[in-house]
Structure 1
Amino acid sequence: MLQEFIVALLVLAAAAFVVHDRAPGLSRRLRVALAVPLVREGRPAWMKRAGRWIAPPRVASNGCGGCTGCEPTR
């Protein structure tokens, strides 16, 4: 039973990778749909942290992915 559980997790991870790689818009919408209910007001702190972890990075106004790792232009 443990072996089947591990195989199922690996298949799920592979499917998530393929969706993220081949359909990034769909991946973003799914992540938002999963994260929004978790970060609502009145939820426990652990649930809000999980929602923020699931949520996709913000898109910056310049079209960047929003990693906030950009250096200021000189």
Structure 2
Amino acid sequence: MTAGLLLQYIVVALAVLLSAWVVLKKQAPDAARRLRIAVALPLMREGRPTWMRALGKRIAPAPIAANTCGGCDSCGPPRR
């Protein structure tokens, strides 16, 4: 296998993975979030090198606020 053919296979594989990730995020955002958490948690454990912990923090999704009520706006003061 020549170097050019290997490079072509790598580029095609990266394009397919990127496309699959975009579709997953669009069609199943909860599954994508769980996958990101599953990948990030082992990288962020104590005792890991600094670069690995930084990569885990970068992969991890933003935390969801636990005190949100769902957006119905019925828990605040009444509107006039």
Question: How many equivalent residue pairs?
Answer: 64
Q: Which runs of 5+ in 2 are unaligned?
A: 1-5, 70-80
Displacement over 3 Å in runs of 4+ = none
Query: How large is the RMSD of aligned CA atoms in angstroms?
Result: 1.5
Larger of the two Rg values belongs to structure: 2
Q: Which residue of 2 aligns with 1:12?
A: 17
With normalisation by structure 1, the TM-score equals: 0.81
Q: In the aligned structure 2, how far is the partner of 1:24 from the partner of 1:55?
A: 14
Letter in 2 for 1:47: M
Percent identity among equivalent residues?
Answer: 49
Q: In the aligned structure 1, how far is the partner of 2:68 from the partner of 2:10?
A: 43
Q: Which residue of 1 aligns with 2:56?
A: 51
Q: Which runs of 5+ in 1 are unaligned?
A: 64-74
